């Protein structure tokens, strides 16, 4: 239970707590002590990283393919006038089944002060689906803004190498405050304020129905991320990520860390969109031999594919790991 509470605290913006090493299991203490004075670890890191660089980014390619396919299905369904996947990411119907984005549905219910049956059906369907797949899986496998922000991040890193851009991190609690503010605004104004500025909704509607002036807002966000703050919206602003993170906190689908084989070279934290969730991989911090990565994890798979020793794996509770 304590790890679950800690996971939620981190999701809402708290810094990962310092581990109480006195409560570590004995085998974990011994392993940490051995790694601290292991003279072969650095040599092993260089060897494993050299091998890892040769491998393809399979999870990234799978994720991009799925994300593009889902959003393309919306486009084709609309333009070909087929009842396959109608609507947009905020609210849709898949072969007749109602689906509603959880955050958008919350905004609508608060704004209009009543609950529509189709909205209940849609949110229930989506909740079950993302509960099974792992909450913030939506962010990295479906959200169109996540994809363009990932491309913008690549550009940011190249510019940062040349000294033309610099990352300025913000307090992660900002996202929680945004979530609260938009909830209050929806209830007080009777209008879904967040939906007017949501880059996820704007991009989804632009792809399906055609571009509009709202794309200028998305462009400004991307420029801000490229030159000033790496992945700022997803890390510090997006209420959708927080909503799905809550679902992910109780999901059976996780990324799991295995302490025994980890070299602590840090490649996983370099590529992670939310590196605070991988705080446990830092040498001396893991409190168990196997640790579930927290609720803010997007299950993007980047840490899994770059880890040279397979110390990070996907796991579905009741089935096993290394999916």
Q: Output the CA torsion 191→141→99→71 (10° steps).
A: 80
From start to end of the chain, where are the E strands?
85-88, 91-94, 97-100, 253-258, 290-292, 312-316, 320-321
Return the pLDDT at 52.
Answer: 57
Straight-line distance from the first to the last Cα atom of the chain, in angstroms, rounded to the nearest whole number: 26
Residue 152 has a pLDDT of 96
| pLDDT at position 53 | 57
Q: For residue 39, what pLDDT band results from cuts at 50, 70 and 90?
A: low
Which pLDDT belongs to residue 115? Answer: 80
Q: Is the pLDDT at 322 greater than 60, yes or no?
A: no
Q: Name the pTM for this structure.
A: 0.89
Distance, CA of 296 to CA of 10 (rounded, Å)? 8
Q: How confident is the model at residue 323 (pLDDT cuts 50, 70, 90)?
A: low
| pLDDT tens, residue by residue, 148-171 | 999 999 999 999 999 999 999 999
Ramachandran assignment for 307, one of left (phi > 0), alpha (psi -120 to 50 degrees), beta (any other) = beta
| Sign of the alpha-carbon torsion through 89, 199, 127, 298 | positive
Distance CA 255, CA 321 (A): 9
Task: State yes or no: pLDDT of 54 exceeds 70.
Answer: no
Residues 6+ apart with CB under 8 A from 275: 269
Query: In degrees rounded to 5, what are phi and psi of residue 312?
Result: -120, 125
Q: Compute CA 233 distance to the chain's CA centroid, rounded to the nearest angstrom.
A: 12
What does the pLDDT read at residue 41? 64
For residues 204 and 3, the model is more confident at 204
pLDDT of residue 186: 94
For 234-293, what is each residue's pLDDT tens digit? Answer: 999 999 999 999 998 999 999 999 998 888 888 899 899 999 999 999 988 888 999 999
Q: Are 243 and 205 in contact (CB under 8 A)?
A: no
320 sits in which H/E element: strand 320-321
The answer to whether the beta carbons of residues 13 and 172 sit under 8 Å apart is: yes
């Amino acid at each position: 239970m304590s790890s679950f509470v800690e996971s939620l605290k981190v999701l809402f913006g708290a810094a990962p707590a310092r581990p109480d090493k006195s409560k570590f299991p004995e085998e974990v203490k011994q392993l940490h002590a051995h790694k601290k004075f292991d003279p072969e670890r650095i040599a092993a890191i260089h060897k494993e990283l050299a091998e890892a660089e040769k491998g393809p980014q399979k999870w990234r390619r799978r994720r991009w393919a799925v994300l593009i396919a889902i959003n393309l299905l919306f486009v084709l369904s609309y333009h070909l006038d087929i009842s396959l996947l109608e609507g947009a990411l905020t609210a849709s119907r898949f072969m007749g089944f109602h689906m509603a984005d959880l955050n958008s549905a919350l905004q609508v219910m608060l704004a209009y002060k009543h609950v529509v049956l189709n909205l209940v059906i849609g949110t229930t369907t989506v909740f079950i689906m993302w509960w099974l797949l792992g909450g913030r899986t939506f962010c990295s496998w479906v959200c169109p803004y996540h994809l363009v922000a990932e491309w913008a991040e690549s550009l940011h890193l190249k510019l940062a190498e040349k000294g033309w851009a610099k990352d300025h991190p913000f307090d992660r609690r900002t996202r929680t405050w945004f979530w609260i503010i938009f909830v209050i605004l929806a209830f007080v104004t009777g209008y879904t304020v967040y939906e007017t500025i949501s880059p996820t909704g704007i991009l989804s509607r632009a792809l399906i129905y055609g571009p509009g002036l709202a794309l200028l807002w998305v462009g400004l966000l991307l420029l801000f991320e490229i030159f000033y703050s790496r992945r700022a919206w997803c890390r510090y602003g997006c209420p959708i990520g927080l909503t799905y993170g809550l679902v992910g906190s109780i999901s059976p689908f996780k990324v799991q860390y295995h302490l025994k084989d980890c070299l602590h070279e840090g490649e996983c934290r370099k590529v992670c969109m939310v590196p605070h969730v991988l705080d446990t991989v830092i040498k001396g911090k893991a409190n168990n031999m196997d640790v579930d990565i927290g609720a803010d994890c997007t299950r993007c798979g980047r840490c899994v594919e770059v880890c040279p020793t397979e110390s990070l794996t996907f796991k579905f509770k009741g089935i096993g790991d290394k999916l």
